[in-house]
Structure 1
Amino acid sequence: MSIWWSIHLRRDAASVPLARRLLLGTMETAGVDPDISYDLSVALSEACANAVEHGGDGDSAEAYRVTAYLDGEKCRIEVADSGPGFRPPSRPLPVRVASVEDEHGRGLFLIQALADHVHIGGKPGLGGTVVSFDKLLKWREDAPLIAV
């Protein structure tokens, strides 16, 4: 069974929990293991927070897009913005120790820690950033939409 959805959200902090709740609701309905759902929802929240903060020229009316695919035994999530973009790291980010006072700079590290595969790139010729990540799914025993 495959499920996918895509939503365009305003670059506003209130959009982050909306995307997270939509993902959690989808996964709960499908019967995904709650620990996997939680990991992916935290990673999605971090990617959305980055799109809200860095994904445009300061105009909160700009939108970013979230797309989620639950296909077979894998979930893939993409968050795309229209900001200035940045050069993605050529290799996985090294683990770093953040100080208690740090309020920023943990998002990509968390996404890499919570997902199985992460890709950060730009939209060729368009600017912006696309953060995509996936994770193998585990299913509850009573999952109504279990993969076959």
Structure 2
Amino acid sequence: MSEISISIPSLSENIRIVESFIDNAKEKFELNDDIYGNIMIAVTESVNNAIIHGNEGNKDKNVFLTLNMENNSIVFNISDEGKGFDYNSLPDPTAPENIDKPGGRGIFLMKALSDELTFEDDGKKVKLSFYIN
């Protein structure tokens, strides 16, 4: 199966384009509601991170989103044009000193909702996999 991809300028209102992209995937691949819900939250969170942190809200920079079927997984790749980040030294959002901080939960959520989460290219690319069987 070929890859499906879109690219969007870094504006938070473009999240709705991502939501439509995921809605189309739900229909095309007949995803059940649980997987669909997890994908919706994890992928939009990842795109939001790419817009806000990766591209620093610069509308001249794009976020790229691709979808592939690999074996029994639906795989989303989200990449930005930012500087990347050190994903190994993120503060734990569940640690007592961080529990009241508004940020820092996105990657934690993405990890919890996806079956596999990997970072590539110095953190500029996120790969989210969801098992479907």
For this pair of structures, how many residues does the alignment match? 130
Aligned to 1:122: 121
User: Displaced runs of 4+ in structure 1, greater than 2 A?
Assistant: 56-59, 92-95
Of structures 1 and 2, the one with the larger relative CO (CA 8 A, separation 6+) is 1
The superposition leaves residues 73-125 of structure 1 with CA deviations (integer Å, 9 ceiling, x where unpaired) of 211111100111111217x98561633xx4321110000000111111226xx
The residue number in structure 2 matching 1:134 is 129
Q: Distance in 2 between matches of 1:93 and 1:29?
A: 37
Structure 2 counterpart of 1:63, which letter? Answer: N
AA paired with 1:120? F
Deviation at 1:14, TM superposition (A): 1.3
Higher CA-based Rg: 1
* CA–CA distance in structure 1, aligned partners of residues 33 and 27 of structure 2: 7
How many angstroms apart in 2 are the aligned matches of 1:34 and 1:79?
A: 22
On the 8 A contact 1:50/1:107 being kept in 2, the answer is yes
CA contact (8 A) 2:11 2:57 kept: no
Q: Percent identity?
A: 22
Q: Root-mean-square deviation (CA), in Å?
A: 2.3
Counterparts of 2:93 and 2:54, CA distance in 1:
24
**Inter-CA distance 93–37: structure 2 relative to 1 (3 Å threshold):** farther
Task: List gaps (5 residues or longer) in structure 2.
Answer: none
Equivalence for 1:145: none
8 Å contact from structure 1 (residues 28, 34) kept in 2:
no
Higher helix share: 2
CA distance in 2, matches of 1:71, 1:18: 23
- Indicate yes or no: 2:51 matched with 1:70: no
User: CA separation of 1:23/1:48 partners in 2, compared to 1, >3 Å: closer, same or farther?
Assistant: same
Tell me, in whole angstroms, the C-alpha distance in 2 between the residues paired with 1:103 and 1:57.
Answer: 18
Q: Residues 6, 45 of structure 1: CA spacing in aligned structure 2 closer, same or farther, 3 A cutoff?
A: same
SS in 2 for 1:19: helix
For 2:115, give the aligned amino acid: D
